[in-house]
Amino acid sequence: MKKWWMLTICIVFIVAAVVPVRAAAASHPLFANVIVVFQQQVDEQAVKTLHGNVTKRFEVIPAVAATLPVTAVELLRRWPGVDYVQQDTTVAIDGQITDWGVEKVKAPVMHTHGVTGKGVKIAILDTGVDLKHPDLRVVGGACVLSYCPNSYQDDNGHGTHVAGIIAAKDNDIGTVGVAPNASIYAVKVLDRYGEGNVSDILSGIEWAMKHRVDIINLSLAAPEDAPALKAAIRKAYESGILVVAAAGNNGYANGTGDTVEYPAKYDSAIAVSAVNKENVRLPYSATGPAIEVAAPGEGVYSTVPVALDGDGRRDGYTHMSGTSMAAPFVTGVLALYKQQYPERTNIELRQMLRDRALDLGTPGRDPWYGYGLVRAVSNQPPELKVKLLSVKKGEVAFSVTLSGSAVKGYRVYRNGKQIETLQTAGTYTDYVVKGTYQYEFASIRNDGAESALTAPITVNVPDPYYKDVSASAWYMPEIAYLSSRGIVSGYNNGTIQPYNTITRAEVAVMLGRALHLDATKRATVFRDVASSDFASGYIQSAYERGLINGYPDGTFRPQQPITRAETAIILSRAYPLPGGSSMMFKDVTARVTGHEAIAKLAAARIAEGYPDGTFRPYQFVKRLEFFVFTARADNERFR
């Protein structure tokens, strides 16, 4: 009985390239279903000339699906411009898992920190998904089969079970998925019998690429290579999509041989094997060098359509086993990674999957478990501890403690984006304007690998607030820093006008505040700066310190914009800076007043030139530029 079940899984519940059971009964077929891949341009006329009929057209690769006389297949293979012709073989679903797996991969640890896959788009290429199941939320989808009476509604049960493992809602009923808030798209590529053709899978991948999904789940398998499918998966991967595939259920009990099936065997796909609760490989889970990670695959509890629930309870949930169930655990974990690290590429997230895996079996990557059991968080002991110390005007401070000789530093993430890489523990301070921010930290090991992120720390910064400075502005931290030190305060109307030019008087005020000069209004040496002028105290103090000069006619011209060269001169006088090469910019020569000061600012990474190699010393300075220059001069952290 067990052998009969295994045979059913291999033929009916696996993927791509097996001949359909019913089709195999025909002794001498007259027509063949093929996929024709062209070298460059698609030539449908070639098919028509050989009395064939094009049934599907693909955009992701230069190919068509067609039906033509068997006797014409060889002729078509030799046709000019044709790269190869392959049989449009049958693909089918792969197997069956339980709720213990969600705990096993440590997904709940991420859930408690608000990481639930939110915003991550996942295409499930399968038998469809039950659109009415109370524990599932399907965002959209498509049926790419030639006959779709109920669109992408699941009429088999397999696709719904896979969907539940990935994203069953956290709603106190049934079960919960690895990434319960992920956006799932049901792409029906298999019929009610769990069968489909390679051309259907190609259409499903093409649909997923057009809809810019982040991850494709393929709980399918087939014993034969399908070059067109390999090309499509490679295209998807190169476009930034992660492709997760079940390794197959045709492994030997003793674990020998290379039994990984397609498409899991392709380099662009992540091949997933299956383990039980004791982290032991299931006896039928495929083995081979392509295995990348292992995941729970035995007796997994998940969703099914009520009408197809055959376990006697008819509640819309059941247990299944196999690599088909293991693959969606990996898909779900990758969705958690993607939410947590939105800026990272699919290649980086794939490496993270390997780095965080719990090594099983033979040390290192092996043909049974790959890099090991997939984990949402690392199994390594904590390497850093972070504590929020204070939240003040424009300033958030943390205590960071590193441990272990294998740790060389840490990274800081604000709202999911990396903002700092540091090597020294202690107090870390970030500068931000008014808003709500989420901070996470990760240690960096000596080999460059990054640990799992710490639990998110959410802070609400009450001020400063400027109408015209957003939290995403590249110069925002510098403005927040200067505000926290009382160096800038903005205008009465709540703006800071970053793109306006800055005047000589405003520069004197900012510099005076930064250097704690005497601000008392008083008479100045300049005939155009009265004692009642708002900046008179700072202008006179800066003059007395030798930071600023006037013009030969005895004026200071306080309302005149300041140039980049003048800015360099003033800042080089105000802050001790090392010397630099005056030939760094093609428009700065020894004849340019302030060339030495410009060289100092450039060498200290306070000021930069333009892409064309110029500094433009006589160009007026915008307020935001002076803010950035001053912050960099005052605090090396900004350089």
pLDDT over 50 at 18, yes or no: no
Angle in degrees, 0-180, between the axes of helices 623-634 and 564-574, rounded to the nearest 10: 20
Cβ 96 vs Cβ 322: under 8 Å: yes
Tell me the catalytic residues: 126, 158, 324
Cβ 295 vs Cβ 103: under 8 Å: no
Domain spans in the chain, listed from the N-terminal domain onward: 31-88, 93-356, 384-461, 476-638
- Where does the pLDDT of residue 22 fall: very low under 50, low under 70, confident under 90, or very high at 90 and above? very low
pLDDT digits 0-9 by tens, 130-144: 999 999 999 999 999
Cβ 274 vs Cβ 281: under 8 Å: yes
| Backbone phi and psi for residue 38, each to the nearest 5 degrees, phi listed first | -95, 160
pLDDT at 451: 74
What letters, b where the CB count within 10 A reaches 16 and e where it falls short, cover 471-510? beeebbbbbbbbbbbebbebeeeeebbbeebbbbbbbbbb
Of 81-95, 110-124, 395-409, the least confident: 81-95
Cα distances from 121 to residues 144, 215, 226, in angstroms, run 19, 7, 26
pLDDT at 198: 93
Cβ 478 vs Cβ 628: under 8 Å: yes
- Where does the pLDDT of residue 300 fall: very low under 50, low under 70, confident under 90, or very high at 90 and above? very high
What superfamily in CATH does domain 384-461 come from? Immunoglobulins (2.60.40.10)
How wide is the angle at C-alpha 335 spanned by C-alphas 330 and 339, nearest 5°? 150
pLDDT digits 0-9 by tens, 203-244: 999 999 999 999 999 999 888 899 999 999 999 999 999 999
C-beta neighbour count of 522 within 10 angstroms: 14
- Where does the pLDDT of residue 91 fall: very low under 50, low under 70, confident under 90, or very high at 90 and above? confident
Nearest to 228 by CA among 68, 92, 82, 24: 82
pLDDT digits 0-9 by tens, 25-51: 334 568 899 999 999 999 999 999 999
Average pLDDT of 568-595? 87
Nearest to 198 by CA among 64, 367, 293: 64
pLDDT at 221: 86
pLDDT over 70 at 581, yes or no: no
pLDDT over 50 at 6, yes or no: no
pLDDT at 25: 32
Strands 63-69 and 90-93 turn out to be unpaired
pLDDT over 50 at 1, yes or no: no
Q: Structure pTM?
A: 0.65
Q: How far apart are CA 243 and CA 513, in angstroms?
A: 56
pLDDT over 90 at 378, yes or no: no
| Alpha helices for 530-590 (secondary structure H) | 536-544, 564-574
Cβ 166 vs Cβ 192: under 8 Å: no
Q: How far apart are CA 406 and CA 402, in angstroms?
A: 10
Cβ 163 vs Cβ 93: under 8 Å: no
Q: Which residues sit opposite 401 in a β-bridge? A: 385
Average pLDDT of 451-462? 87
pLDDT at 98: 35
Average pLDDT of 510-531? 97
* Half-sphere exposure at residue 384, Cβ-oriented, CA atoms within 13 angstroms: 32
Mean pLDDT, the chain, as a whole number? 90
Cβ 469 vs Cβ 498: under 8 Å: yes
Helix, strand, coil percentages, rounded to 5, for the chain? 25, 25, 50
- Where does the pLDDT of residue 582 fall: very low under 50, low under 70, confident under 90, or very high at 90 and above? low
What superfamily in CATH does domain 93-356 come from? Peptidase S8/S53 domain (3.40.50.200)
pLDDT over 70 at 24, yes or no: no
pLDDT over 90 at 448, yes or no: no
| Distance linking the first and last C-alpha atoms of the chain | 71
pLDDT digits 0-9 by tens, 54-77: 999 999 899 999 999 999 999 999
Cβ 335 vs Cβ 120: under 8 Å: yes
* Half-sphere exposure at residue 522, Cβ-oriented, CA atoms within 13 angstroms: 12
What superfamily in CATH does domain 31-88 come from? Peptidase S8 propeptide/proteinase inhibitor I9 (3.30.70.80)
pLDDT digits 0-9 by tens, 473-495: 999 999 999 999 999 999 999 99
Contacts of 423 (CB under 8 A, 6+ apart): 408, 409
Cα 135 off chain centre by = 26
pLDDT over 60 at 564, yes or no: yes
Strands ordered across the beta sheet of 407-414: 417-422, 407-414, 435-445, 457-461
